[in-house]
Amino acid sequence: MGIPKIEIIEKYCKGCSICVEFCPTQVLQMDGFVARVVKPEACIKCMQCELRCPDFAIKVYPE
Amino acid sequence: MAFDYEKYIRPGKLPHIWCPGCGHGIVMKGLIRAIDKCGLSKNRTAIISGIGCASRLPGYVDFNTVHTAHGRAAAFATGMKMADPGLTVLCVGGDGDGVAIGGNHFIHACRRNIDITYIIMNNHIYGMTGGQFSPCTPTDGFASTTPYGNPDPVFDIAKLAIGAGATFVARTTAYHANQIDKMIVEGIQHKGFSVIEILDCCPTSYGRRNKFRSVVEMMKQHKELAVPVTAAAKMTPEDLQGKIITGILHQEEKPEYCEQYARLIDKVQAQTAGKG
Ligand SMILES: Cc1ncc(C[n+]2csc(CCOP(=O)(O)OP(=O)(O)O)c2C)c(N)n1
Ligand code: SF4
Ligand code: SF4
Ligand code: SF4
Ligand SMILES: [Mg+2]
């Protein structure tokens, strides 16, 4: 089980920070008005960020 | 595996028009996952809405969709279902659309128990038109039209639907995103009128006026207040004060309207056969 691929589609992200705030392991961080992946190795593949993003802007590929 | 939502989104429609953090996007994703789980065909599924931010949802999804008049989704949907009972018919819309201007259509669709699934995105406000209060704005809550606090009592949409005769009623929240598709699947599979109330977030027109610093705070409140229906059954009414009971709140079997209507047609045709 490797590190999952987490994709943020910047042109869809509106910077609400829902994904950042509810990630249980602080994988994501806000960079101004865009979410960024900062610690992919900590991802537990819970998919909460992908489920809650209102803007179809984050995808998690757990392999 | 990342879910392929774009399979069900009309090409070129994203990003959508909703504000940053608006919960309607979370509900739209749940609806798409539910339709995918049910294996419904695009051509045999109809999604109907009225007017409002929530009611813009059908414009994004690649099914047979109708964006009707304010509050009239249930009326149009009833006509479509009667004309083609094999069609899977869903209504989507807001609290204002569904239980303010559309309240009459809503309760009568419940009463008829027609096989339609009605998803109501309750963000406690008229989001689209600048934050006027709705029948679901909390008492003492602030809206552009209740600048001193709302004196009105609140509609409990789920109780209203049960009282009016809906045979499947469930509730969840935008925070509980993984429950949204589950509840909608159950609603679609139920034969009869199904209501799924989703407590939603409008950070722009409701949140800002009601001291929520962000949509995250609004969703944290959903998390804190939610009580699953099984746990609620063991709690006292005092303990449940102010809580949000989630899950399937009501389900029963009752005659479905299109079937009753078909039976009536058969009966009258048999009575009048040969008399023409
Ligand atoms: C007959 C009529 N009256 C009033 C309006 C103005 N109007 C448009 S949307 C809306 C309220 C929508 O509120 P809701 O259904 O809760 O949706 P939200 O925007 O909160 O998602 C109103 C009053 C209208 N479009 N048509
Ligand atoms: S899948 Fe879970 S752990 Fe991984 S980034 Fe998303 S919320 Fe964080
Ligand atoms: S939840 Fe979606 S839109 Fe909001 S910050 Fe994260 S990726 Fe961007
Ligand atoms: S005004 Fe409210 S309901 Fe409308 S899109 Fe913005 S956040 Fe959503
Ligand atoms: Mg509303």
Query: Are B118 and B196 a contacting pair, CB within 8 Å?
Result: yes
Say yes or no: B10 contacts chain A, CB-CB below 8 A: no
Say yes or no: B106 contacts chain A, CB-CB below 8 A: no
Q: Which ipTM did the prediction report?
A: 0.97
Fold annotation for A5-61:
Alpha-Beta Plaits (3.30.70)
Residue B216 is classified by DSSP as H
* Alpha carbon distance B98, B71 (integer Å): 6
Query: Are A36 and A23 a contacting pair, CB within 8 Å?
Result: no
* B45 falls within a domain: yes
Residue B15 buriedness (CB in 10 A; 0-12 / 13-18 / 19+): middle
**C-alpha R_g of chain B:** 19
Question: Would the CB atoms of A56 and B29 count as touching at under 8 Å?
Answer: yes
- Specify the 3-state DSSP secondary structure of A18: helix
pLDDT in tens, B4-30: 999 999 999 999 999 999 999 999 999
For chain A, domain boundaries: 5-61
Query: Measured from the CB, is residue A17 less than 6 Å from ligand 3?
Result: yes
User: What is the domain-level CATH number for residue B52?
Assistant: 3.40.50.970
Domain membership of residue B51 as a residue range:
16-275
Q: Residue B98: which of B204, B181, B196 has the closest Cα?
A: B196
* B32 falls within a domain: yes
Q: Which residue of B has its CA nearest to A11?
A: B15
- How many domains are there within chain B? 1
Q: Whose CA is nearest to atom 7 of ligand 2?
A: A23
Query: Given this model, what pLDDT does residue A4 score?
Result: 95
pLDDT in tens, B83-114: 999 999 999 999 999 999 999 999 999 999 99
CA of B121 to the centre of ligand 5 (A): 7
* B227 falls within a domain: yes
Across A56-61, average pLDDT: 98
Query: Measured from the CB, is residue B24 less than 6 Å from ligand 4?
Result: yes
List phi, psi (to 5°) of B133.
Answer: -75, 150
Give the closest ligand to the alpha carbon of residue B97.
1
* B252 falls within a domain: yes
Query: Given this model, what pLDDT does residue B64 score?
Result: 98
* B9 falls within a domain: no
**C-alpha R_g of chain A:** 10
Q: CB within 8 A of A44, min separation 6: which ones?
A: A24, A25
Say yes or no: A6 contacts chain B, CB-CB below 8 A: no
